[in-house]
């Protein structure tokens, strides 16, 4: 499908760019500043998209389409220039235009700040979903926060991570449209007065609240082909004029300004935490702020066409991306009951029928809980509503399971104890008609483990929707050479239907195609080598095996296992126990949460190991270890197309899905991985000969944890290869000038503290790595396998995931629940 709708010509585009250079930027039309060219091109595209948003809205209005609202505290959208040009069908025209003027479009694209409004996979998923909803012509919109500072920039100083603020808005953001006219006002803090109404009924009043103003910033989201342009609405916090004026009138100018600053603080920055909880009041306020702004906006839009709430669940589906927006349950109830005077039962039906919840993690430390006392202070009315929901819910459970007090304790929205806590996952589960996991394995674990009581109550609410990625960004844009080859071979239908890639299978052993395919991989590796040499002054052999582990740094993702493998090979070579047969380049990237000490130590360890190995003359060019700083969407787009081997080696049962794994598969890397998350389904799709699976299975680990039978120390004594590596930590081999730096790793393992089962998986991991080395030497066979991986990656498109959400959740007829 070629984009045809209102495609603009090269000369129109040129005229528009010239216009914005002069009129928006006040620059001579001949300006050759890349920055100016980026801005004026972006403004030109925004003009087109603004018109398209209006057209799209008229279409939705005319057909009374059900709208989907995707609520997420994170949207890791990446740069928009390339993606927008591709989706509007204007990439080639724009590139030619710039080339004719002697300008490289890549340099213009590099001018754009990468909006880091997310931590990792969860935020990136939300971004892929926006692209897919617009491409599939679904009326789907994102609601998020307009953080002034995105995820920190990572710098490396003597091997240690240093965090620098990401002031991404310091320069102008040409994409966003500030909509002051649609601002909303949100109450917060205050207290409850227990009044009675005229008939003597209980009528609580929320009093003495303060007000925050939510100001929307809209970012257009163009679907491929340009027919549909939806938007992502990000709210920034400001102070309420009314509120300020009251203090002004009291004559306290400084306090008024202080208040204003305090309000603005709410959306100052993204919490730099990946799968671990923060527990900070400001984070709770952010979660409430987003939910309250979004629901006000959604209801306002609905009431333009409706007089009551009868059609609300038919006109709006609200998807909660993890528990972060789960206060939507309480806020929607509050709006319906307190502000629109619906009876509780009716409001509850509407709430459940509208909301749905996506779970993203089984890590105990990541399941959100907030102290009851904190909620009482910040949103007292919501706490009351949560108690009422809980009361009615537990009554029904007790009716079904008389006498089972333990069950009530387990499923309650409130965790009793010294500090009473609200369990946000339970709130989301009880208030939704659907809960989904993000891979088949993960959904099974939710059913059997974390949420087994809820599964027994409502099996019909549980669905699996395996994650996906958009091929528009992760192949068409990130890997233009491969995209071109595929289009030339099987047509461009894959761009909107990734299952078409199956047509590549017959080419997997055709010499000409194989040569072109491996030539492209080689060119991508060369390009990445140049980036490595430019940023780190390290020269890399593009013919070496690129073995890549890039993702957030976390113990469960087991960067340590990868480093132990590298140390093992290094010591074998220098001790003459191994003759290297394949040169290898090990590439890492990833940020550590600023307060996560072990993760930060991993970054230091990778650097120290690299320092020793990269300088050791005995190694020659057999191994190189590289850490590329400041992992981001833009960096991922450069690294992934150059990968030979994708490391997906999390402890089984911990990675809910992973999406990095899918990006690598789509770009012709082979995967080495555990049976975790979506790796399980990648094995099913690729076939057992085309992926390297090793290690413990999730049930085996769960069983050992339950029975407490794993002793890491025994593995030290049983396996010489483990001894060598742990002794290297003990003996400061990688910290000669920093004595004792990594001894904690040795001591923990010897103390049976290996909660992520590194030692038990280590020997199987070495074995599979030996197999990989042998297979890589047979380059024709390797290439064949990589082609088959690409051909069989169609399932992992976010188009498939969104179409699953659409059928299984958003447009499923919801019967009034039994509870
Ligand atoms: C895809 C992506 C992730 C998620 O990677 P996983 O390997 O699934 O953890 C994280 N960060 C960025 C920048 C990404 O593009």
SS (H, E, C) 668-722: CCEEEECCCCCHHHHHHHHCHHHCEECCCCHHHHHHHHHHCCCCHHHHHHHCHHH
Is position 552 annotated as part of the catalytic site? yes
Tokens 């500090």 -> residue:
419
Query: Which of 5, 88, 2, 94 is closest to 41 using CA atoms?
Result: 94
Minimal-distance CA residue to ligand 1 atom 9: 551
**Ligand 1 contact, 650 CB (< 6 A):** no
Judge whether 39 and 25 are in contact, CB under 8 Å: yes
The predicted-structure confidence for 244-271, as pLDDT tens digits, reads as follows: 666 666 667 777 777 777 888 999 999 9
For residue 382, report the distance from its CA to the centre of ligand 1, in Å: 34
Burial class (CB in 10 A: 0-12, 13-18, 19+), 597: exposed
Query: Which of 55, 54, 48 is closest to 19 using CA atoms?
Result: 48
Residue 284 DSSP SS3: helix
**Ligand 1 contact, 79 CB (< 6 A):** no
Catalytic residue among 296, 447, 552, 604: 552
**Ligand 1 contact, 20 CB (< 6 A):** no
Q: Which atom of ligand 1 has the smallest separation from the CA of 637?
A: 15
Q: Which atom of ligand 1 has the smallest separation from the CA of 658?
A: 8
Long-range contact set of residues 7-16: C-beta below 8 Å, sequence gap at least 24: 7/88, 7/89, 7/90, 7/226, 8/48, 8/90, 8/93, 9/93, 10/93, 10/96, 10/97, 13/44, 13/90, 13/93, 13/94, 13/97, 14/97, 16/40, 16/43, 16/44, 16/47
Catalytic residue among 557, 568, 607, 624: 557
For residue 124, report the distance from its CA to the centre of ligand 1, in Å: 7
Mutate to test the pocket of ligand 1, among 76, 115, 121 (most ligand atoms within 8 A of CB): 121
Please state the pTM of the whole predicted model.
Answer: 0.97
**Ligand 1 contact, 632 CB (< 6 A):** yes
Distance CA 235, CA 217 (A): 6
**Ligand 1 contact, 633 CB (< 6 A):** yes
For residue 420, report the distance from its CA to the centre of ligand 1, in Å: 35
**Ligand 1 contact, 659 CB (< 6 A):** yes
Give the model's pLDDT for residue 4. Answer: 47
Which overall architecture, per CATH, does domain 491-695+765-794 show?
Answer: 3-Layer(aba) Sandwich (3.40)
Residue 499 Cα distances to 160, 471, 577, 634, 689, angstroms: 43, 11, 46, 26, 20
CA angle 591, 594, 597 (to 5 degrees): 95
Token pair listed for 625: 């270890």
For residue 115, report the distance from its CA to the centre of ligand 1, in Å: 15
Query: Which of 355, 353, 436, 426 is closest to 816 using CA atoms?
Result: 353
DSSP letters, 748-761, are HHHTT--TT-HHHH
Is position 387 annotated as part of the catalytic site? no
| DSSP secondary structure code for residue 353 in this structure | H
Q: Which atom of ligand 1 has the smallest separation from the CA of 631?
A: 13
Burial class (CB in 10 A: 0-12, 13-18, 19+), 416: exposed
Alpha helices, H only, 537-653:
559-574, 597-615, 633-639
Token pair listed for 566: 């590298």
Three-state SS for 261-283 is HHHHHCCCECCCCCCCCCCCHHH
Angle between helices 121-135 and 798-805 (to 10 degrees): 80
Sheet holding 623-627, edge to edge: 623-627, 584-589, 545-550, 645-648, 670-673, 692-693
Distance CA 233, CA 175 (A): 12
Q: Which atom of ligand 1 has the smallest separation from the CA of 677?
A: 8
Distance CA 819, CA 816 (A): 8
Catalytic residue among 663, 758, 785, 800: 663
Judge whether 328 and 318 are in contact, CB under 8 Å: yes
Q: Which atom of ligand 1 has the smallest separation from the CA of 557?
A: 9
Handedness of CA 642, 785, 778, 676 (dihedral sign): positive
Distance CA 342, CA 336 (A): 6
For residue 797, report the distance from its CA to the centre of ligand 1, in Å: 15
Q: Which atom of ligand 1 has the smallest separation from the CA of 636?
A: 15
The DSSP H or E segment spanning 462 is strand 462-464
Three-state SS for 26-92 is CCCCCCCCHHHHHHHHHHHHHHHHHHHHHHHHHHHHHHCCCEEEEECCCCCCCCCHHHHHHHCCCHH
**Ligand 1 contact, 466 CB (< 6 A):** no
Catalytic residue among 360, 426, 565, 607: 360
Displacement of CA 201 from its chain's centroid (Å): 46
Dihedral of CA atoms 434, 437, 443, 447 in degrees, nearest 10, equals -40
For residue 662, report the distance from its CA to the centre of ligand 1, in Å: 10
Q: Which atom of ligand 1 has the smallest separation from the CA of 633?
A: 13
**Ligand 1 contact, 120 CB (< 6 A):** yes
Distance CA 38, CA 222 (A): 18
Sort strands 545-550 and 584-589 into parallel, antiparallel or unpaired.
Answer: parallel
For residue 189, report the distance from its CA to the centre of ligand 1, in Å: 36
For residue 148, report the distance from its CA to the centre of ligand 1, in Å: 22
Mutate to test the pocket of ligand 1, among 467, 591, 659 (most ligand atoms within 8 A of CB): 659
Is position 707 annotated as part of the catalytic site? no
Catalytic residue among 443, 659, 674, 783: 659
Query: Which of 679, 677, 678 is closest to 690 using CA atoms?
Result: 679
Distance CA 211, CA 189 (A): 9
For residue 781, report the distance from its CA to the centre of ligand 1, in Å: 29
Which parts of the chain sit beneath pLDDT 50? 1-5, 817-819
For residue 812, report the distance from its CA to the centre of ligand 1, in Å: 30
Distance CA 380, CA 804 (A): 37
Residue 199 DSSP SS3: coil
Minimal-distance CA residue to ligand 1 atom 1: 660
**Ligand 1 contact, 636 CB (< 6 A):** yes
Distance CA 114, CA 112 (A): 6
Minimal-distance CA residue to ligand 1 atom 8: 658
The DSSP H or E segment spanning 776 is helix 758-777
Judge whether 240 and 21 are in contact, CB under 8 Å: no
Minimal-distance CA residue to ligand 1 atom 6: 660
Mutate to test the pocket of ligand 1, among 129, 152, 636, 650 (most ligand atoms within 8 A of CB): 636
Query: Which of 551, 811, 502 is closest to 663 using CA atoms?
Result: 551
Residue 646 phi/psi, 5-degree rounding, is: -105, 120
For residue 139, report the distance from its CA to the centre of ligand 1, in Å: 26
Minimal-distance CA residue to ligand 1 atom 11: 120
Residue 577 DSSP SS3: coil
Tokens 């010591």 -> residue:
571
**Ligand 1 contact, 470 CB (< 6 A):** no
Residue 551 phi/psi, 5-degree rounding, is: 170, 175
Distance CA 181, CA 185 (A): 12
Handedness of CA 445, 449, 453, 454 (dihedral sign): negative
Residue 574 Cα distances to 192, 292, 566, 570, 619, angstroms: 72, 61, 12, 6, 7
**Ligand 1 contact, 361 CB (< 6 A):** no
Mutate to test the pocket of ligand 1, among 122, 124, 274, 649 (most ligand atoms within 8 A of CB): 124
For residue 650, report the distance from its CA to the centre of ligand 1, in Å: 13
For residue 259, report the distance from its CA to the centre of ligand 1, in Å: 38
Catalytic residue among 423, 551, 565, 784: 551
Distance CA 255, CA 251 (A): 9
Q: Which atom of ligand 1 has the smallest separation from the CA of 469?
A: 1
């Amino acid at each position: 499908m070629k984009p045809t709708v209102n495609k603009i010509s090269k000369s129109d585009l040129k005229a528009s760019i010239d216009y914005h250079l002069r009129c928006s930027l006040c620059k001579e039309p001949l300006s050759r500043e890349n920055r100016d060219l980026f801005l004026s091109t972006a403004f030109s595209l925004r003009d087109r998209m603004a018109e398209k948003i209006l057209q799209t809205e008229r279409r939705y209005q005319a057909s009374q389409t059900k709208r989907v609202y995707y609520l997420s505290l994170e949207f890791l959208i990446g740069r928009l220039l390339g993606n927008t040009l591709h989706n509007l069908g204007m990439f080639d025209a724009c590139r030619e235009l710039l080339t004719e003027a002697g300008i490289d479009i890549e340099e213009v694209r590099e001018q754009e700040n990468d909006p880091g409004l997310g931590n990792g996979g969860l935020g990136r998923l939300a971004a892929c979903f926006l692209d897919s909803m617009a491409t599939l012509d679904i009326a789907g919109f994102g609601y998020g926060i307009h953080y002034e500072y995105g995820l920190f920039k990572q710098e490396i100083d003597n091997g240690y991570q240093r965090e620098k603020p990401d002031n991404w808005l310091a320069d102008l953001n040409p994409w966003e449209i500030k909509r002051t006219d649609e601002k909303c006002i949100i109450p917060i803090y205050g207290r409850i007065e227990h009044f009675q109404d005229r008939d003597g009924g209980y009528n609580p009043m929320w009093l003495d609240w303060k007000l925050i103003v939510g100001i929307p910033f809209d970012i257009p989201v163009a679907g491929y082909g340009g027919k549909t342009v939806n938007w992502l609405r990000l709210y920034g916090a400001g102070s309420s004029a009314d509120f300020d004026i009251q203090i002004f009138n009291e004559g306290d100018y400084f306090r008024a300004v202080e208040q204003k600053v305090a309000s603005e603080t709410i959306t100052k920055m993204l919490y730099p935490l990946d799968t671990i909880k923060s527990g900070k009041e400001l984070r709770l306020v952010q979660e409430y702020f987003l939910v309250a702004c979004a629901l006000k906006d959604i209801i306002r839009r609905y009431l333009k066409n409706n007089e009551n709430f009868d059609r609300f669940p038919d006109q709006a589906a609200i998807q909660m991306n993890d528990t972060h927006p789960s206060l939507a349950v309480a806020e929607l109830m509050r709006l319906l009951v307190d502000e629109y005077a619906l009876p509780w039962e009716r409001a509850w039906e509407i709430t459940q029928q509208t909301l749905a919840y996506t779970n993203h993690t089984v890590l105990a430390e990541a399941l959100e809980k907030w102290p009851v006392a904190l909620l009482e202070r910040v949103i007292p009315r919501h706490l009351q509503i949560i108690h009422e929901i809980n009361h009615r819910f537990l009554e029904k459970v007790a009716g079904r399971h008389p006498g089972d007090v333990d069950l009530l304790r387990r499923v309650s929205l409130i965790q009793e104890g010294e500090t009473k806590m609200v369990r946000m996952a339970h709130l989301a589960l009880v208030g939704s008609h659907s809960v989904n996991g993000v891979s088949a394995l993960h959904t099974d674990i939710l059913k059997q483990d974390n949420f087994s009581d809820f599964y027994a109550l409502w099996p019909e609410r549980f669905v699996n929707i395996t994650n996906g990625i958009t091929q528009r960004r992760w192949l068409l844009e990130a890997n233009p050479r491969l995209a071109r080859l595929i289009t030339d071979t099987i047509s461009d239908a894959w761009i909107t239907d990734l299952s078409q890639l199956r047509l590549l299978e017959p080419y997997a052993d055709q010499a000409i195609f194989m040569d072109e395919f491996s030539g492209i991989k080689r060119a991508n590796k060369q390009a990445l080598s140049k980036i490595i040499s430019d940023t780190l002054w390290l020269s890399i052999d593009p013919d070496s095996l690129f073995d890549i582990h890039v993702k957030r740094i976390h113990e469960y993702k087991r960067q340590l296992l990868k480093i132990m493998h590298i140390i093992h090979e290094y010591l074998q070579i220098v001790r003459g126990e191994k003759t290297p047969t394949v040169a290898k380049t090990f590439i890492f990237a990833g940020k550590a949460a600023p307060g996560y000490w072990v993760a930060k130590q991993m970054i230091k360890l990778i650097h120290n190991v690299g320092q020793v190995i990269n300088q050791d003359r005995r190694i020659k060019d057999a191994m190189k270890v590289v850490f590329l700083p400041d992992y981001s969407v833009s960096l991922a787009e450069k690294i992934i197309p150059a990968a030979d081997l994708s490391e997906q080696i999390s402890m089984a049962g911990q990675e809910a899905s992973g999406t990095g794994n899918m990006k690598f598969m789509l770009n012709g890397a082979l995967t080495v991985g555990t049976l975790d998350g979506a790796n399980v389904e990648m094995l099913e799709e690729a076939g057992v000969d085309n992926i390297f699976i090793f290690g413990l299975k999730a049930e085996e680990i769960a069983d050992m944890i339950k029975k407490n039978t794993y002793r890491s120390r025994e593995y030290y004594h049983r396996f010489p290869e483990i001894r060598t590596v742990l002794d290297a930590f003990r003996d400061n081999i990688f910290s000669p000038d920093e004595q004792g730096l990594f001894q904690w790793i040795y001591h923990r393992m010897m103390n049976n503290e290996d909660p992520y089962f590194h030692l038990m998986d280590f020997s199987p991991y070495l074995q599979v790595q030996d197999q990989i080395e042998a297979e890589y030497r047979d380059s024709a066979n390797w290439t064949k396998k990589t082609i088959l991986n690409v051909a069989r990656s169609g399932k992992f498109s976010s188009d498939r995931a969104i179409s699953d959400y659409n059928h299984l959740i958003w447009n499923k007829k919801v019967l009034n629940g039994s509870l």
